Structure 1
Amino acid sequence: MANRLSAGTLGQLPPTVGAPRYDRAAVTPGIVHLGVGAFHRAHQAAFIDQCLADGQSGWAIIGASLRSPDTRDALAPQDGRYTLAVRDSDTERLDIIGSIQSLIVAPEDPEALLAALAAPSIRIVTLTVTEKAYLRNGDGALDLAHPDIVADLADRTRPRTMHGFIVEALLRRRAAGIAPFTVLSCDNLPANGRTAKRVLVDFATRIAPELGRFVDEHVACPSSMVDRIVPATTDEDRARVSASLGLEDAWPVVTEPFRQWVIEDDFPLGRPDWEKFGVTMVADVTPFEEMKLRLLNGAHSGIAYLGQLLGHATVADAMASPAIARFVAGLWRESIETLPPDAGLDPVPYTGELARRFSNTALRHRTAQIANDGSQKLPQRIVAPALERLAQGRGIAHLAFVAAAWIAALAARSGDTFTDPLDSQLAAPAANGAVGEIFDLTGFARGNPHREALQAQVEHWLKTIHAEGAEAALAILDREFAQ
């Protein structure tokens, strides 16, 4: 295909494709986003695109990759534009998103990113850098021994981490008399705003205690909850979307119709009018966050590891298995009982919607993709609700089964099916079924009086999976709950 999607070829799009309804030359950046991946482009950037089309012209995005140039290399020839393909089982809608005004690859030009962050027009810095990029130790504080943190503290002019970039930019803004921007985490971890604040304060304090106090007292870090399923883009997706456009798009993103964004309303320098497009602004995001982490993300983890063990490549394939569908329903029953009953949540209809979303055959959401980084994800999704149930004297069979399936899947991997930050340490104990050693390495339930009970349940189900196979182990679990 000769022609590439770009500013100059928008007029060639077929009428069925939605194009940006605003003049890109008339908008200015108000947001820097760190971690320009598929999720950001399908979620936050899509909301901002609607805000720009609404005339909210001061909120375009400067996107920054902290590691790889891949997104910049794909989108720069397209003037930052890309296709958002919203797929249901039998329909697909294509829209061109133009809200990312420019792209920076931080390792290539750290000064360019620092300058962007320090600009007076930037009022919000958003993050989708994944859980592991917060670089926390087992106690949740900043890992001051991490090589990248050590390097950033030694040379603040060439940061490697989001901590280094944000704190150095705040220093520059302060020296220039510019108020601090708001740091808005959109990562899937509990209390993501408070988590971001803690590690940023830790980093700033190592530079100077007074700077740490400044960040703690003057930098707003609201928490947020994000929800939209965004599988990795495949070559098949690229070919299909490009054929529909009549133009080549090197990196479209594919997603589902559903989307959700709940944000704590704390933006001293102002914010977009997100509410016009379905964003929920709240005083406390915690109940919504817990419902999503435990019901959506927790079920995703269970599906991912069972899918890996039973040969189901995608979430939809796994949910088509009656055994896995029953397991997920049981997992939801356990997790729902840990949610606050007086927070205005409606978890039963929510799980009904999740079941429909998980069964969307148009989304090739790979179980291997979801299975990555289990040591970082399971504490919030599975371990925390399990410990709460144990404290209440309730059973945890389905929750413990997820942790056992994770360990079994670690041991059963071939090649680079999925990865974990602790791979080099987890390989031997996973192969040996050493659950206690794995709990020690990951910090699961560290210091909790119910650790032994949780560990015993995980050991029981891991032994059952090894002895009987994952499918038979699920049948045994079903029989226990049928009695």
Structure 2
Amino acid sequence: MSGAERLSPATVDRLPASVERPGYDRAVQRTGIVHLGLGAFHRAHQAVYTDAAMSAGDRDFAITGVSLRSPAVAEALLPQDGLYTVTQRSAAGERIALVGALREMLVAPRDGERLRASLAAPTTSLVTLTVTEKGYHRGPDGALDIASVEAAGGTIYHHLARALADRRGAGAGGLTLVSCDNLAHNGAALAASLGAWLDRTDPGLRAWFEAECACPSTMVDRIVPAAREADLERTAAAIGLYDAAAVTTEPFMQWVIEDKFATRRPRWELAGAQLVADVAPYEFAKLRMLNGAHSALAYLGLERGHQFVHQAVADPAIRATVERLMRDEAAASLTAAPGQDLGAYADALLARFTNPALPHALIQIAMDGSQKIPQRWLATLRANAAEGRRCPAILTALAAWLRHVRGNGAPVNDPMAEQLAALWREVGEHGIVAALFGERGLFADHWQADAEDRAALHAGLREG
């Protein structure tokens, strides 16, 4: 099907009736959003929310999508005039929708002046970002690494600082900058780092930025695998046209946004976005319930011979542990926000985990465990210990992680792999718990196991 005719405005009327269409005239929508980091996640998440808002009647929020480095995504979209399809795949089948929110595609290194003009345009009110954590150039302490930004060139800070200066000079007003990356308190982190860059490059601009702009924090969630050629061929067979920018995802999507805007915005809530006073409770729920359960599935599943999340959660012994971790341990450690239903959230997570249509590899989740378990498990253990509660499910998972980093089975891909393996050789099974979670253990700053928890971990190691 890769030889099929290409999806474009000229061929869109040939799509099957089953493909959902935007409910607005693209030709009369002006651009109101610039998005930095034009990848699959944005196309399956923020662009979908914006498409729904425009279909409901919002106007002039079309998106200029910007690839900061590679031209590949922009070049896939350009012949299609920004049109692409999103396929939601689950055990119940597929649902395909055409998305029209993207109107202009730029590649920052070659389209620098057009990007500058887009960011400075009076019609632009929002800048959204999906650039991954490394794109923020933060040091180990979370502060901006000025030297890294200067060495890299062409960063988000270069583009945004120039845009802010242009807008101040033209009297165009501020912007709302919406980070959609998996950084804790991402809005505050972006504001602090951009402020530090302005202090370095244009000190007088920082006060204007802080007075005229807003950086709301957000929490985003949707599984969007990287597109494979087989996925593109499957979409082509379903729609009768070749879509080089097609994305495949799950039915679930979540966007929690701090209700702090300096400018007009689309009604993203019409597609289910939640506007809240504080994003932190949702961030903690995702870390401790979703991510905590994922890590448990990974280490328990791999040692029982499973390859994917849906296989591991179908294992009755593992499922019982994961349900207890989410419902009785992680949820108990959280203070829910008004209207936040942690029980319903656990139900939704289990439904996602069981979806066989988007295989999620356990070995991928198991990577970098030493960097993940403090937030996913140890914080929950510490919070529950403060209230006198035990966490047997997390301890079961933690014992599986200990066996994993010992080298029992699946390959260990972790920045601390050599250090952990050396500890195992040095102190053995009887000493490893104290070496990691004792008073002077490697993870003592995050959580210290008392005598009962140490005994449980030792018993878990013997059972594995």
Letter in 2 for 1:351: A
> Cα RMSD over matched residues?
3.4
Distance in 2 (CA, whole Å) between partners of 1:342 and 1:49 is: 28
Partner of 2:318: 324
Partner of 1:10: 12
Report how far residue 244 of structure 1 moved: 0.8
Q: Is the 8 A contact 2:381 2:447 kept in 1?
A: no
Report how far residue 51 of structure 1 moved: 1.8
Distance in 2 (CA, whole Å) between partners of 1:87 and 1:245 is: 15
Partner of 1:59: 61
Runs of 5+ consecutive residues of structure 2 not aligned to the other structure: 425-431
Equivalent pairs, count: 450
Alignment CA distance shift 1:186-1:445 (3 Å): farther
Letter in 1 for 2:348: E
Partner of 2:150: 150
Runs of 5+ consecutive residues of structure 1 not aligned to the other structure: 153-157, 474-483
Report how far residue 241 of structure 1 moved: 1.2
- Partner of 1:337, secondary structure, is helix
Equivalent residue in structure 1 for 2:129, among 121, 127, 130: 127
Q: Is the 8 A contact 2:285 2:334 kept in 1?
A: yes
Alignment CA distance shift 1:133-1:458 (3 Å): farther
- Partner of 2:34, secondary structure, is strand
- Partner of 1:8, secondary structure, is coil
* TM-score calculated relative to the size of structure 1: 0.82
Q: Does 1:260 align with 2:262?
A: no
Report how far residue 460 of structure 1 moved: 8.5
Distance in 2 (CA, whole Å) between partners of 1:138 and 1:104 is: 32
Equivalent residue in structure 1 for 2:332, among 333, 337, 356: 337
Alignment CA distance shift 1:213-1:78 (3 Å): same
Letter in 1 for 2:335: P
Partner of 2:350: 355
Distance in 1 (CA, whole Å) between partners of 2:393 and 2:44 is: 32
Alignment CA distance shift 1:184-1:405 (3 Å): farther
Letter in 2 for 1:335: A
Q: Does 1:177 align with 2:167?
A: no
Report how far residue 201 of structure 1 moved: 1.8
Letter in 1 for 2:205: L
Distance in 1 (CA, whole Å) between partners of 2:73 and 2:363 is: 21
- Give aligned-pair identity as a percent: 44
Q: Does 1:198 align with 2:192?
A: yes
Report how far residue 311 of structure 1 moved: 4.3
Report how far residue 407 of structure 1 moved: 6.9
Partner of 2:31: 29
Letter in 1 for 2:340: L
Partner of 2:93: 91
Letter in 2 for 1:136: R
Alignment CA distance shift 1:210-1:403 (3 Å): farther
Report how far residue 334 of structure 1 moved: 1.4
Report how far residue 26 of structure 1 moved: 1.4
Distance in 2 (CA, whole Å) between partners of 1:385 and 1:59 is: 40
Report how far residue 340 of structure 1 moved: 0.8
Q: State the Cα deviation string for residues 161-211 of structure 1 (Å, max 9, x = none).
A: 223322232222222222221111222232221122222222222224443
Q: State the Cα deviation string for residues 289-348 of structure 1 (Å, max 9, x = none).
A: 322232123222333444455443322122112232122113212111111156432212
Written as runs of structure 1 = structure 2, the 5 A alignment for 1:247-396 is 247-332=241-326, 333-341=328-336, 343-371=338-366, 377-396=372-391
Q: Is the 8 A contact 1:61 1:102 kept in 2?
A: yes
Written as runs of structure 1 = structure 2, the 5 A alignment for 1:204-215 is 204-215=198-209
- Partner of 2:86, secondary structure, is strand
Q: Is the 8 A contact 1:231 1:364 kept in 2?
A: no
